Chain A
């Protein structure tokens, strides 16, 4: 997959604002999607998932939106907190295949 190397896309938001992290996926056969959060020195941590028969799913302070028409996935974080600062990855699972991970977006929460 594509990679942006050391220069990850970065989203900077003010503490308390809402964050929207976007992901374009590539395979129209993908039927399961996951958002992960990765903090420095740790492995990716599951946030929320969604199946292709849904277009929206909500968790605690997070919402995932799926637009299959344009192959777009987004993660919305409400009332962003300093602890939300991390790199966020989307992952798609083409039917019958292994997960494919996006390049990641760095979220920076400003005080």
Chain B
């Protein structure tokens, strides 16, 4: 079946512009996560959505970052006034439930380059 889909796959933007990254999770998955991966590094947690509960935003690095999930499905990560240090791969993952013993299923990410 279809996996996690992210778009765009690549995004180049100028410093100071806003960007929106999209994630389509696997159908029926109630948990959705955003991670950031800088070149050659591990995964940095950003935000977690579980069903209709309030999202866990504890990983967002600044108030320039926000995310929403509409209708319990598609999610959008927005970065306002982008900075060069925002350059990274942004990964989305979903799982059938949050907190249970289910692995995260990742998309292929959006590579963001801020010039």
Point out residues on A near B: beta carbons under 8 Å: 1, 3-8, 32, 34, 36, 41-46, 49, 51, 89, 91, 96, 98-104
Contact = CB atoms under 8 A, between A and B. Distances in A.
B103 A101 contact: no
Interface residues of B, number: 22
B107 to A, nearest CB: 5
Nearest to A8: B40
B40 A5 contact: yes
Contacts, number: 55
B44 to A, nearest CB: 8
Nearest to A96: B99
Q: Is the interface of A mostly helix, strand, loop or mixed?
A: loop
A43 B105 CA distance: 9
B91 interface: yes
Contacts of B42: 1, 3, 89, 101-104
A49 B43 contact: no
Contacts of A43: 4, 91, 93, 106-109
B65 interface: no
B40 A46 contact: no
Contacts of B33: 98-99
Nearest to A1: B42
B1 to A, nearest CB: 15
